Every structure is written in structure tokens, then in C-alpha cells.
Amino acid sequence: SPGSSIPPEETLALVKPDAMSPATLEKIMDIIRVNRFEVVNRKKIWMTDNLVGEFYKEHVDKPFFPSLVTYLSSAPVLAMILKKENAAAAWRQLMGPASSTRAREEAPKSIRGQFGTDTRLNAVFGSDNAETAKREIGLLFGETVVPMTLPFDETATT
């Protein structure tokens, strides 16, 4: 922002399969606009189970890992590179707690508080920080991940 010396950073955001309905997607895009993130790039993709496994490899030994892989590879997601000062922390603040049940109680205006279902189906992903974002952006925005047609008018937000 004007007058600030903090350099902008990039983070990766995903709209997960349970939040990909046009109405929910539009509300999430509104939140991104109102909070003045620059959408550096975005693409709708259908992640394979192998890609989800690589993406979430930090969780490979967790009991919820198999269901996480099934969830994220079940239908398309919208991947976005978001840029502003402290983008990673700012986006995670907007997402709310991982558990949508907790989010509804503790942060009802958060994205998960509004659009999440439970501890697993929670509407959105956000990188932990700008460093982990670099790996995650590389995985999803590399040329091997083929984009699908976007579910909204490309001209509407430019």
C-alpha cells in the first residue's frame, strides 16, 4: 500500500471442490477483491490423486490423508496466485480455522465459517507462508497441469 516499505509477496489460494458452485465462487472472488489482493494468475484444474499427494505431502502420515486426497481430486478446483503485503497470512486470516465447525463458532465471517462444511470439507486452501507458496505455485502452475475452461467470464474481473 502507499507509503509502506513492506514488499508484496505471493501466496497460493485454492477454492476446493465443495466451494466451486458459481454462487459461492462469486462470493469468494468478492472477498478477494474487497481485500485488495492482486490475482496474478488463476486457473481451474482437476488435480490427479498423485498431484494432490505431492501437494499435501506434509500430511502423508496423517490418518486423514487418504480422505484428503479423495476430496481434492474429486472435482475441479480454482487455483489462484494472490499478491499483496503479507499475502499468505492475510489469506489464511480470511479463510479462518481449518475446521469449518470451529470457524462457524469462532470466525463466522471467515470463508470457512460461511462456506465450509466440516473438518475435511472446508472450501479453501492457503499456503502456510510465502516460502511454502513457492513450491505449491510451482506444482500447480507448471505447464504439466492443464487448465480447464473457467466457470465465469474472463472479462468480468479485468
Closer of 83 and 102 to ligand RTP (Cβ): 102
The binding site for ligand RTP (CB under 6 A) comprises 59, 64, 68, 98, 119-120, 122, 125-126
Closer of 29 and 72 to ligand RTP (Cβ): 72
> Hey, what's the cell of 115?
462456506
> Smallest distance, Å, CB 47 to ligand RTP?
12
User: Is 120 flagged in the annotation as binding?
Assistant: no
Cell 465462487, residue? Answer: 25
User: Is 135 flagged in the annotation as binding?
Assistant: no
Distance CA 86, CA 59 (A): 24
> Smallest distance, Å, CB 30 to ligand RTP?
20
User: Is 115 flagged in the annotation as binding?
Assistant: no
CB atoms within 10 A of CB 83: 15
User: Is 122 flagged in the annotation as binding?
Assistant: yes
**Mode of pairing for the β-strands spanning 38-45 and 9-15:** unpaired
Q: 139 in the Ramachandran plot: left (φ > 0), alpha (ψ -120 to 50) or beta?
A: alpha
Which residues participate in the annotated binding site for ATP? Answer: 16, 64, 92, 101, 112, 122
